[in-house]
Structure 1
């Protein structure tokens, strides 16, 4: 946020949302329990066999962090394919969201109250055409 919040970057907001999700995932930690350790399945499948197709693997892979925008492939591979950078992808996602989002309309009483708060604050700060109070 720049200039006291007057300037805003929707692409940055989308990136921050991804970062917040990754942090939330990291802070939550890795669950360690009988299901995630899967010791019984390790014995069932046996050594030198694959676990990827096992239902337990499918169920537990959902706990990994999967940010929507972050491309975890190698940079050289991304560049050779002409991939856009994170900020470009975030800006495109912000535009997509703004195009399809259909916000709920606030009740008129709420809108009126919000406008009143804004007018009072603008008057206190001496911005937006309001007059500064005598404080």
Structure 2
């Protein structure tokens, strides 16, 4: 089935849709691949710091982290920080985001050309199925 679908497609959940979209973004980012160069492998940093060194706070590592997948809903904080912030689950945050989108998003209107094409598809389908409007 598709994003946001539950119970074999019987149920649709806007919160699940938002959460599934986050997973899809993360997967898309991963499957795009990545460059393998001396720079991306941090060869210079490895030589600079050496075995047993601390790489996590090095500028190269911090810069590299910023280019990676940055989830909005998955909380990567420590448990203590997460609990102090209210201990909301990813699903709860997804539901809140879905609610915000439903209340605030204004989609761009469809062009007249697109509306005509949609109307033609509906008309053709109704004709095929013998649906008439009286």
Query: 1:53 Cα shift?
Result: 4.8
Task: Identify the match of residue 112 of structure 2 among 95, 108, 112.
Answer: 108
- 2:20 maps to 16
| Superposed displacement of residue 66, structure 1 | 2.5
* 1:60 is the counterpart of 2:76: no
| TM-score, normalization by structure 1 | 0.65
Structure 1 residue 17: Cα displacement: 0.8
Secondary structure of the corresponding residue to residue 102 of structure 1: coil
Task: State the alpha-carbon separation in 2 of the partners of residues 108 and 46 from structure 1.
Answer: 63
1:39 and 2:43 correspond: yes
1:121 is aligned to 125
1:29 positional shift = 4.5
Cα distance change of structure 1 residues 60 and 74 upon mapping to structure 2, 3 Å threshold: closer
Picking from 71, 76, 99, the partner of 1:95 is 99
**Aligned-residue RMSD, C-alpha:** 3.5
String of CA shifts for 1:54-103, please: whole Å, max 9, x gaps: 43223211243322111234668746754222222111111222333232
Aligned match for 1:86, one of 77, 85, 90: 90
